[in-house]
Amino acid sequence: MTTSTGSSGRPRGGPDALFPADPVQRPKSVDPAVARRRRELPEPKALKRHGPARVIALCNQKGGVGKTTTAINLGAALAEFGRRVLLVDFDPQGALSAGLGIQPHQLDRTTYNLLMERGVTLDDVRLKTNVPGVDLLPSNIDLSAAEIQLVTEVAREQALARALAPVRAEYDFVLIDCQPSLGLLTVNALTAAHGVIIPLECEYFSLRGVALLVDTIEKVQQRLNPDLVLEGILATMYDGRTLHSREVFSRVVEAFGDKVFSTVIARTVRFPETTVAGEPITSWASSSTGARAYRDLAREVIARA
């Protein structure tokens, strides 16, 4: 079994290694996600001062895989460990803003204005959230125009990186919630980031998209942002009772080795509930399995930073 990958996280043997011609369907008695969690996760050290931030893009061109849920709950969990967090809603759907109880269509200024209008500063757009230690750059449907308008700009891929540069010193983590596409907005997020977290739904079809995403990450690395690394792959919507989930998870670990976080996010209705409540699971259901999982992920992310 392969347990390591290059810095970009390209799976050994190329994307086809994810799809052996004849996948072996043998029942496993041990839940691979449980078996993998041998190591104790280190308890994060308290910080004496803050910044400069590590910028992490949550990226997957497939929708509904847990990008926004991870941005909100990883952000909240990092803040519980005393980290200062800026969440960037970089999806015109505005789901990240809505998930934190903010009505995105009622906003006068959003990330769109920050990117496109000279004279608009980050302080004009930034909001405090109800989660202590977590700030937000909100977005709404206006941002979809940026995708088109940026095309004619000079250094169009660096617009977000430029906008974030002045506040890196204030935060420990900046998490960018990407839209489900590999268009110019996502390329901006990858150009602004140090690392990429790929939330991956434990479904066969999810694996196909990852090869394309890894290609895009490599292109951005080569042409725009040589420091970009694959921070990790996060298995989401995991159901250890189904052979399907187990098989997909094992396949992902075979292909990506240590790049796969040992924390796995189980499928639970508590997450849709938190979306309605407009708050993170860490406060909505503080002792739930989901809240604990995102705290474990925060421990891993801090340890990898």
Q: Which of residues 99 and 195 has its CB atom nearest to Mg ion in the complex?
A: 99
Q: Answer yes or no whether residue 54 interacts with ligand ADP by CB under 6 A.
A: no
Interface pick for ligand ADP out of 237, 264, 285, 301 (rule CB under 6 A):
237
With CB under 6 A as the contact rule, the residue among 57, 59, 95, 160 that binds ligand ADP is 95
- The answer to the question of residue 272 lying near ligand ADP (CB under 6 A) is yes
Quick check: 101 binds ligand ADP (CB under 6 A)?
no
* 175/102 Cα distance (integer angstroms): 17
- The residue whose two tokens read 């799976």 is 11
Among 10, 36, 62, 67, contact with Mg ion (rule: CB under 5 A): 67
CB 178 within 8 A of CB 67: yes
Cα 122 to Cα 125: distance, rounded to the nearest angstrom: 5
CB of 207 to ligand ADP, least distance (A): 16
Q: Is residue 64 a contact point for ligand ADP (CB under 6 A)? A: yes
Distances (CA, A) of 141 to 78, 114, 147: 28, 14, 11
Residue 94 interacts with ligand ADP (CB under 6 A): yes or no: no
Q: What angle do CA 279, 133, 116 make, to 5 degrees?
A: 85
Minimum CB distance to Mg ion, residue 91 (Å): 5
Give the nearest distance from C-beta 134 to ligand ADP in angstroms: 16
Give, in order, the Cα–Cα distances in Å from 209 to each of 181, 198, 214, 242, 253. Answer: 11, 11, 9, 22, 16
From the list 72, 73, 74, 84, the residue with the least C-alpha distance to 46 is 84
82 binds ligand ADP (CB under 6 A): no
Q: Minimum distance from CB of 3 to Mg ion (Å)? A: 31
Task: Give the footprint of ligand ADP on residues 151-190 (CB under 6 A).
Answer: 180
- Sequence-ordered strand ranges (E) for 138-190: 173-178
Of 167 and 301, nearer to ligand ADP (C-beta) is 301
Peptide bond into 280 cis (omega under 30): no
What is the C-alpha separation between 290 and 287, in angstroms, rounded? 8
* DSSP 3-state of 301: helix
Q: Is 204 exposed, middle or buried (0-12, 13-18, 19+ CB in 10 A)?
A: middle
Of 18, 55, 74, 95, the one binding Mg ion (CB under 5 A) is 95
- Are 195 and 229 within 8 A, CB to CB? yes
Which backbone phi and psi does 220 adopt, to 5 degrees?
Answer: -65, -40
* CB 115, min distance to Mg ion, A: 18
Residue 190 C-beta: closest distance to Mg ion, Å = 16
In this structure, which amino acid lies at residue 164?
L
Restricting to residues 22-41, which ones interact with ligand ADP according to CB under 6 A?
none
The nearer residue to ligand ADP, 79 or 202, going by C-beta atoms, is 202
Please choose, out of 44-52, 59-67, 115-123, 191-199, the segment that lies near Mg ion by the rule CB under 5 A: 59-67
Work out whether 267 is an interface residue with ligand ADP (CB under 6 A): yes
- Binding piece for Mg ion, criterion CB under 5 A, among 15-23, 64-72, 227-235, 236-244: 64-72
Query: Minimum distance from CB of 7 to Mg ion (Å)?
Result: 26
Give the residues lining the site for Mg ion (CB under 5 A): 67-68, 95
- Positions touching ligand ADP (CB under 6 A) are 63-69, 95, 180, 236-237, 265, 267-268, 271-272, 275
